[in-house]
C-alpha cells in the first residue's frame, strides 16, 4: 500500500485531527494533529505498544507520571500499560505519527 496523507479522510475529535493511515492484525499507524492549547487526553493501552515520531510544533508528553518536552524529530516509546497524555504547548499544530504494535495481534 502506498498513499498520500491528502487522500486519507480526517477523523475529528475535540482539538485533535486523526488521519488513520493503515491497520493490520499486528500494526496500526495514524497521523495526529493537536491544535494549539489542546490535548490528547490521558489514557492507557493494555493491548498495544506505541511509538511516536514528532513532525511539527511543540508539546509536552506526560508519560508514566513524568513530563517530557516534544519537538520535531523526537522519538517516543510507550510501553503497554503506561498512562500518557499529549498537550500542545505551542502556537501552531503539533503533528506526530504513531505506530501501534498490537499485543496479542487483533483478529
CA-based nearest residue to 61, from 84, 95, 27? 84
Over the stretch 29-87, which tens digit does the pLDDT of each residue have? 999 999 999 999 999 999 999 999 999 999 999 999 999 999 999 999 999 999 999 99
d(CA 19, CA 42): 20
pLDDT surpassing 90 at residue 105 = no
pLDDT surpassing 80 at residue 107 = no
- What is the pLDDT confidence band of residue 106, given thresholds at 50, 70 and 90? confident
CA-based nearest residue to 30, from 43, 44, 17, 40? 17
Q: Give the model's pLDDT for residue 104.
A: 87
Q: Which three cell numbers stand for residue 36?
A: 494549539
d(CA 106, CA 74): 28
The predicted model gives 18-35 an average pLDDT of: 97
Q: Give the model's pLDDT for residue 83.
A: 97
How far is it between the farthest Cα atoms of the chain?
41
d(CA 75, CA 54): 7
Amino acid at each position: 500500500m502506498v498513499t498520500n496523507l491528502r487522500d486519507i479522510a480526517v477523523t475529528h475529535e475535540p482539538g485533535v485531527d486523526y488521519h488513520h493511515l493503515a491497520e493490520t492484525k499486528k500494526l496500526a499507524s495514524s497521523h495526529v494533529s493537536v491544535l494549539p492549547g489542546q490535548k490528547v487526553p490521558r489514557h492507557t493501552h493494555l493491548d498495544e505498544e506505541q511509538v511516536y515520531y514528532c513532525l511539527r510544533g511543540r508539546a509536552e508528553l506526560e508519560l508514566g507520571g513524568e513530563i517530557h518536552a516534544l519537538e520535531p524529530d523526537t522519538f517516543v516509546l510507550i510501553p503497554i500499560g503506561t498512562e500518557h497524555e499529549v498537550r500542545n504547548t505551542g502556537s501552531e499544530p503539533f503533528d506526530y505519527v504513531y505506530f501501534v504494535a498490537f499485543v496479542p495481534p487483533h483478529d
